[in-house]
Amino acid sequence: MKSIVALQDVVTPWSDGLEPSDAELNAIEAEMPLVLAEVELLDALIVLLDRPTSEFDGRRIRRAHHRVLSARRDAANRAAGTQVSGDAA
């Protein structure tokens, strides 16, 4: 009988390629504003799972949704290589 420790290299070989490359890290960093905006929207929606909405909750969700849309627009503009309105060149 062989132990799993002896088979570990066969199951999960160690490679220097396990760390993300600089390009992958840059892509993640570029997506972070959108991810954070989506998390904020999700947090606002989760709060409403166990209670009725108030006027404050409605405004919070609208603001969070607007931030998601703005972050998506900015990400699309960066991907297309265009300048977002209001940015200094």
**Which tens digit of pLDDT belongs to each residue from 33-88?**
999 999 999 999 999 998 888 999 999 999 999 999 999 999 999 888 865 566 55
How high is the pLDDT of residue 61? 94
The pLDDT tens digits for 14-47 are 566 678 888 899 989 999 999 999 999 999 999 9
- C-alpha to C-alpha distance for 76 and 59, rounded to whole angstroms: 26
pTM: 0.66
How high is the pLDDT of residue 21? 87
pLDDT at 1 over 60: no
Cα–Cα distance list, 76 to 10, 60, 71, 81, 84 (Å): 42, 24, 9, 8, 10
